[in-house]
């Protein structure tokens, strides 16, 4: 019995010790958590200072901005021509390769001229024969006139000879006209370029049989290039011939300066736009190349900041303004955008001239964060 009492006492003792250890550990964990929370609270209360470099801020300033109309179009040659066959024939030669340069009057293609030569020779013989008939009729008429004047024959014979001469003369004129056509057909067998330029496309090769008016080659003058763009009528009303525009080339992403050469007076009914023609510098682009750019169509003034300083990751655009040495996120409305010295700016509201705004290099800084400007 005594042994059993001793064992029970030991068991109870162990249970008490275990319970006491658990309580102590729980109390210590709670104390540690409270201490951590207190430290975190103190950390939140402590000011977080960001040192902003000069490049991290920009001062809003009243500026005059260029308002630009976005444009795009395809480069075309002002002078371009498709050379076509003036007769059905076989192509005997193409004398210039694609990309080759030609001068006005230079031979580009040759068509088979054997038939044309034969028709010219035949026409020449017909002219000779018709001339002989006309000369004979003229001599007969002159003889009859002399005989009528002397009374040897009646005037009826003179009327007949006059009619014969008139018919022979008309036949001679017809033969001459036919000879001219034959000569032109022969000349047309030799195809010449009417302009200076480059061969941009060949449609045929030697040995091909072509029909009348079939395309042979395209020639473009790359010294005179232009871009045709559509501009809304409201914006186009502010444009003037001679005005400059900046275009970006598709092929190289480089920019070229174009000039408004012509403005079409008619409004496109479907788009309510005007067609504007921009001239490009010599050999500055390739025919058919796509370009984009902008045309200045007016100016606007207001307190402006760089467009990339306006943040858009929230539902409402906002800017980060330094107020009382803290960052304030201020929701804004973009009233207008424009460019100045090649950089895009925005006029936003509310914003006053002189206010300090964070630039993109500063990144996003939490609202209310304490900051200081570097000296």
Q: How far is the C-alpha of 368 from the C-alpha of 48, rounded, in Å?
A: 10
66 in Cβ contact with 339 (< 8 Å) = yes
Alpha-carbon Rg for the chain in angstroms: 47
Q: Which residue did the predictor score with more confidence, 8 or 337?
A: 337
Confidence of residue 31 (pLDDT cuts 50, 70, 90): low
Q: What is the distance between the alpha carbons of residues 372 and 375, in angstroms, rounded to a whole number?
A: 9
**Rounded Cα gap, residues 307 and 38, in angstroms:** 43
Report percent pLDDT > 70 for the chain: 87
* Cα–chain center distance at 327: 43
Q: Mean pLDDT for the chain?
A: 82
Q: Average pLDDT for residues 149-165, to the nearest whole number?
A: 78
How far apart are the C-alpha atoms of 139 and 77, rounded to whole Å? 61
Which one of 126-135, 229-238, 294-303 scores highest in mean pLDDT? 126-135
Whether residue 77 has pLDDT greater than 70: yes
Contact yes or no for 255/313 (Cβ under 8 A) = no
86-109+189-220 CATH: 2.40.50.100
pLDDT, average across residues 189-199: 92
Q: Which CATH architecture has domain 51-65+300-373?
A: Beta Barrel (2.40)
Residue span(s) of the chain under CATH 2.40.50.100 come to 86-109+189-220
Query: In the chain, where does the domain assigned CATH 1.10.287 lie?
Result: 113-188
Q: How high is the pLDDT of residue 13? A: 53
At the top level of CATH, the class of 113-188 is mainly alpha
Please, where in the chain does CATH 2.40.30.170 lie?
Answer: 70-78+221-298
The count of residues in the chain is: 375
Residue 140 confidence (pLDDT): 86
Residue 8 has what pLDDT? 52
Indicate if the pLDDT at residue 87 is higher than 60: yes
Report the pLDDT value the prediction gives residue 7, as an integer from 0 to 100. Answer: 46
pLDDT at 64 over 70: yes
Q: In sequence order, which ranges of the chain are alpha helices (DSSP H)? A: 2-45, 114-150, 155-188, 233-236
- At 181, is the secondary structure helix, strand, or coil? helix
Q: Which CATH class is domain 70-78+221-298?
A: mainly beta
């Amino acid at each position: 019995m005594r042994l059993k009492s001793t064992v029970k006492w030991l068991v109870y003792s162990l249970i008490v010790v275990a319970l006491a250890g658990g309580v102590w550990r729980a109390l210590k964990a709670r104390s540690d958590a409270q201490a951590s929370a207190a430290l975190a609270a103190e950390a939140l209360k402590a000011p977080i200072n960001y040192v902003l470099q000069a490049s991290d801020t920009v001062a809003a300033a009243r500026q005059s901005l260029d308002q630009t109309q976005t444009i795009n179009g395809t480069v075309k040659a002002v002078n371009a021509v498709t050379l076509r066959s003036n007769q059905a024939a076989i192509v005997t030669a193409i004398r210039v390769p694609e990309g080759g340069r030609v001068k006005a009057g230079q031979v580009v293609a040759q068509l088979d001229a054997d038939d044309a030569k034969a028709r010219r020779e035949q026409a020449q013989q017909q002219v000779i024969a018709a001339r002989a008939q006309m000369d004979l009729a003229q001599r007969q008429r002159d003889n009859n006139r002399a005989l009528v004047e002397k009374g040897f024959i009646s005037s009826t014979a003179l009327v007949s000879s006059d009619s014969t001469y008139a018919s022979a003369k008309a036949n001679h004129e017809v033969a001459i006209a036919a000879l001219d056509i034959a000569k032109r057909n022969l000349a047309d067998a030799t195809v010449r370029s009417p302009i200076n330029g480059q061969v941009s496309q060949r449609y045929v090769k030697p040995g091909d049989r072509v029909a009348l008016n079939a395309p042979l080659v395209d020639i473009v003058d790359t010294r005179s290039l232009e871009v045709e763009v559509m501009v809304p009528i409201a914006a186009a009303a502010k444009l003037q011939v001679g005005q400059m525009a900046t275009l970006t080339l598709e092929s190289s992403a480089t920019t070229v300066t174009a000039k408004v050469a012509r403005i079409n007076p008619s409004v496109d009914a479907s788009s309510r736009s005007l067609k504007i023609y921009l001239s490009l510098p010599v050999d500055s682009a390739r025919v058919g190349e796509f370009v984009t750019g902008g045309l200045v169509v007016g100016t606007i003034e207001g307190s402006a900041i760089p467009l990339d300083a306006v943040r858009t990751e929230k539902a409402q655009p906002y800017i980060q303004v330094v107020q009382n040495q803290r960052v304030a996120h201020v929701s804004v409305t973009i009233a207008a955008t424009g460019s100045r010295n090649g950089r895009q700016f925005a006029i936003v509201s509310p914003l006053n001239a002189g206010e300090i705004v964070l630039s993109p290099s500063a990144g996003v800084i939490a609202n209310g964060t304490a900051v200081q400007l570097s000296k």
